[in-house]
Structure 1
């Protein structure tokens, strides 16, 4: 009898482990981007680095794979590549749903919760007040953790910032401003950003507004972020503002402004509207707190045009890969650059390289890649600017085309024939992105997962992120050029799934 019970236990254990192993092999499931095991996810929240761990919180609805009453989901990682899903951090309460926000390490115990406490600053969204149309249904609240984010206690004095009567009053991004020894909250307030300051994270004072006549205004401003980056010996302040709709290729997108901040007022030096990403699938992108001089950004890899309809099960949505931000001057303009974080190199497996290759019409690299999964990284540099395209394809006839057009001086991703597109009218489209670099040769990095591509051109000056849903893995790789190009270097790496 004991042997029978033992055998049954082992069979059950093996079956359970097998089920767990297959949970992350569903069709379209990203293999090195974070996704929740099941149900709905949108904006990344409260991203913070603490005691060797990267914490990712996110908008989460645990009861369905469409948007619902928002919680803060939670995942942790030591490398921003392999993520472990944790128990839900924050649940809705009498003040409302838990909307987007940020988290900080309170090193000096300014709030009195404890030295090095993690403090989350988030929006309470009251659906009852929203129905009453009082215009005061969104307020800002805080919670704290004294055990590295495992458990959270909501502050009894919530909300810490009441609504003055603005219908969209949300997404607080908080950071420490050392010159004045105070916290700065960057808050999205309908069609602009409002800055608040506090000495203790509890009592907040309004400082100034920015953006009523700046940047894109095709939709509501959301999920802002403010931080400095050193560039050519000077400190440049970066203000990120996500907007929905109104992106450069329709729907949700992120814009940014460069300028100065004196602890009270942000002054923009930007001469044009600048975009973080020209694809349609990098929204609500903000940076991690407490990463010293590194500015590391992640976004929600979807778009409100179709986020509730994408054909995934039992989950919906992934995050982008982590990206390290920098600045680069081109002519008289400064641009924000995004590059893959170095930690992603742990995914590298087999590798091949080509040099000084002439491509006229078509170069089929499928036999050399020997890639059955479609997961890869490609780094390519051409000898001169000329039309070319990179085609990802499969045996089902699906094609995702990425390329450069010399006449328009722009990059593009065309997902019109990439697989399943009929769930939303505008999904199967071609997305274009301007080229800002002035060098003769074109360089790009392309990273592909099961259902996404992220294109970083000219050392991150132009970025395009798109999701797609092929019938089978994109195992074929071709490079095409009617006019002909010279490939100076091409490095191809097959990528392995990250550990779950």
Structure 2
């Protein structure tokens, strides 16, 4: 799926949803009665529609305090680009340039013992429209936490021969068993859709790889189409022909292709010449009523994928996964699955009703590991999904919280990898793949719910955290003191500046409601994000987790996503768009009978996110942040001064203080200065923060301020830095002195004379065990000479 091909469908979906509009409470109650929504989920509606889910006094509620990576009073990212870092995640896979969405295939490379992940990539987006260079990008990973730099696996051939693809869209990869014409046995072959150079219409092509899947540079069929939507026996609607999923089944190749509200099924002996899988066109289509079996709606389908899975009892089934959206039935863009078997022709025969893979609003374009020969079944699969929803992702997402341009032009994040298994009841359970995810030690709180401070709406406050890292994990465990089933709702709230998301879960019924607001969205998109699909109630679904006295909810939060994992293997994914690196988190619960117990563990996970400060060695400064280029001019050093400590080159954030508007500069002219010595930032009350600037950083200063007799340069956001670390202090030499570099090697021809005044910066540091003063860029003099 890409932006162009969904524009019409998205417009229809948004119109259908927003025709519901905002309703009054009477209408909400009528809606609730017809959809059997638990009353405990409705108690929050009046409160959350009138105000933010955050407390009115929350320092993050005002958008001015959004991030330390901005140049406009701390809240507007002024120069977003196709590669800028304002939406870089901590432990999720992101695009590094432009836009990305659907996953293509996840393939294991046994030679290099790593996974290849392919996704649909668009290099340039202007005003919501995709331009040229839509291609496949590839990254590799060994643990689904750390990823390589991407390379283009399938490039667009815009301007090539008339039948070639001008863009490369979604598809799949198989390993040639020896029957694909013109391809070496064992080579990887990609089947993919796109737009044709000849008419800009959807068709399907193929190419093979001679470098084990790194690139697919050998087109099959001389770059010509292998399945054309114009052919009278292919797509019935003569328009949709995309997202091919190709696999082996009983010694022949089978292709599933998305064709509007149908899935076309085709067969081939040689991978080039295809025909209908079952006699004729009509008999070779899977219709909406088949793959949406048991659901009260039908809809267009995208991204079909078929896998064979072993149930926990050892039996084998085939599972059809697909993407769809049905706003008219209260369903957002999502990924679904249905369990059944393939007949001899390769046509799917359902044995269950269809279900959502993820109950949240933003899990789409998913793909899966697994054998491409469906006579071989897998005990489990690994899946990842695109974090997005076409009802707002394509609307123009602002790079600030004020709702005005510019838009972000780098967008595209994927969920944590999830291990999925097929249960004996033919449902799928998911668990996150996080074995190598870095984490800080957990903090824990525990107790009886009813003994905690009372909150609103019969809730008790279990956890109320401010200025927490946006990249965190929260494990919430609830139980009862006796064998009774758990009664009372649980509410989890996440707040970033003006943005907020929350979930209310009712264990008595298993139902939950997800809602939120995003100030980076505008118009219909903002309305859709805030009011969701249930007449202003947000998004409501059934977890299946009910009638229990013990349950857990685990939440992973990162810059662009919130992922919820229920203890029964169900999941819910939410996209978020604030570029703040901190969040407020609140956990509340009800406990009418004072028998509910809780145990919460939480902590930061993944790599640290510190505004837009770049790590040592990276001089890109696109964020307009407090400092400029962050290059380090000291060597391997240590420090004996508690006010100016040297670390390994990482800049530490200050988690405990909200960013304040620059109301203290009094109109003083800004001047850029170089930090000569690693230095902590202080508040204007002379309290040292944990925010540290490296030597070589460029800061904007607004004059000098004396605090308790010490001189500080004033920065923005009520922060300051010791002047000695910038302008230095003059000291008189007692002896002639040589000047050394950061490796304690003497710099020839540099000899300072006895009694001369030398400007030193900050406190003495240690190099190879001896103390030196910094006297210039990569220039040091022994302290003993002063």
TM-score range, shorter chain: 0.7 to 0.9
Q: 2:426 aligns with which of 325, 334, 340?
A: 334
Residues 200-226 of structure 1 deviation map (CA, whole Å, 9 limit, x = unaligned): 322333223223423165542110011
Distance 1:191 1:398, change over 3 A: closer
> Is the aligned partner of 1:410 residue 2:511?
yes
1:390 pairs, out of 474, 477, 492, with 492
Superposed displacement of residue 483, structure 1: 3.4
- Unpaired segments ≥5 residues, structure 1: 1-21, 131-136
Aligned to 1:467: 575
Of 335, 338, 363, 1:282 maps to 363
Residue 497 (structure 1) aligned with residue 607 (structure 2): yes
Asked which structure has the greater CA Rg, the reply is 2
Alignment partners' CA distance in 2, 1:199 and 1:98? 24
Matches of 1:24 and 1:379 in 2, distance apart? Answer: 34
Partner residue in 1 for 2:748: none
Query: Deviations along 1:419-471, whole A, 9 cap, x unmatched?
Result: 5443623112322221213441332221110121011223323x211112336
SS at match of 2:437: helix
1:26 aligns with 2:108: no
Please name the residue that 2:119 is paired with. Answer: 58
With over 3 angstroms needed to count, the CA separation of the structure-2 counterparts of 1:47 and 1:200, relative to structure 1, is farther
**Partners of 1:471 and 1:266 in 2: CA distance:** 43
Q: CA deviation at 1:77?
A: 1.7
How do residues 91-490 of structure 1 correspond to structure 2 at under 5 angstroms? Answer: 91-93=155-157, 94=161, 95-96=164-165, 97-106=167-176, 108=178, 110-126=180-196, 129=199, 137-152=201-216, 153-157=218-222, 158-163=224-229, 164-165=231-232, 166=235, 167-177=239-249, 180-207=250-277, 208-214=284-290, 215=292, 218-231=298-311, 232-246=313-327, 249-264=330-345, 265-271=347-353, 273-290=354-371, 293-308=379-394, 309-312=396-399, 313-328=408-423, 334-343=426-435, 345-355=436-446, 357-359=448-450, 360=452, 361-365=459-463, 372-383=468-479, 384-394=486-496, 396=497, 398-406=499-507, 409-416=510-517, 419-422=519-522, 424=525, 425-429=527-531, 430-440=538-548, 441-461=550-570, 463-470=571-578, 472-483=580-591, 486-490=596-600
Q: TM-score, length-normalised on structure 1?
A: 0.83
Mapped contact 1:297–1:322 kept (Cα < 8 A): yes
Cα distance change of structure 1 residues 487 and 119 upon mapping to structure 2, 3 Å threshold: farther
After TM superposition, give the deviation of residue 363 of structure 1 in Å.
Answer: 3.4
Kindly provide the CA deviation profile for residues 258-311 of structure 1, in whole angstroms up to 9, marking residues without a partner as x.
Answer: 11113422111124x411122221111121345954311111111111222223
Q: Using a 3 Å threshold, how does the CA distance of structure 1 residues 118 and 248 change in structure 2: closer, same or farther?
A: farther
- Secondary structure in structure 2 of the residue aligned to 1:304: coil
Please list the CA deviations of residues 318-348 of structure 1 after superposition, one character each: whole Å capped at 9, or x if unmatched.
112211111235xxx53222221244x4233
When residues 452 and 247 of structure 1 are mapped into structure 2, their CA distance, relative to the original with a 3 A threshold, is: farther
Change (3 A) 1:422 1:161: closer
Contact in 2 for aligned 1:218/1:243 (Cα 8 Å): no
Q: How many equivalent residue pairs?
A: 461
Comparing 370-379 and 385-394, the one that deviates more? 370-379
Task: Write the distance in 2 (CA, Å) between the matches of 1:327 and 1:289.
Answer: 13
Distance in 1 (CA, whole Å) between partners of 2:156 and 2:579 is 38
Assess if the C-alpha contact under 8 Å between 1:122 and 1:171 holds in 2.
yes
Partners of 1:278 and 1:431 within 8 A in 2:
no
> How far 1:171 moved relative to its partner?
0.5
Deviations 1:173-192 (A, max 9, x none): 12233xx1233222212212
Q: 1:246 to 1:204 in 2, by over 3 A?
A: farther
Residue 15 of structure 1: aligned partner: none
Alignment correspondent of 1:83: 147
Do the aligned residues in 2 keep the contact of 1:398 with 1:471 (CA within 8 Å)? no
| Contact persistence 1:39–1:314 (CA under 8 A) | yes
Could you state the TM-score of these two structures normalised by the residue count of structure 2? 0.54
Shift in CA distance, 307/239, structure 1 to aligned 2, threshold 3 Å: same
Q: CA deviation at 1:482?
A: 3.5
- The alpha-carbon deviation at position 47 of structure 1 amounts to 2.7
- Going from structure 1 to structure 2, the CA distance change for 1:362 and 1:420 (only over 3 Å counts) comes to farther
Q: 1:176, 1:354 → 2: CA distance?
A: 52
Check 1:107–1:446 CA distance in 2 against 1; reply closer, same or farther (3 A cut).
farther
Give the superposed CA RMSD.
Answer: 3.0
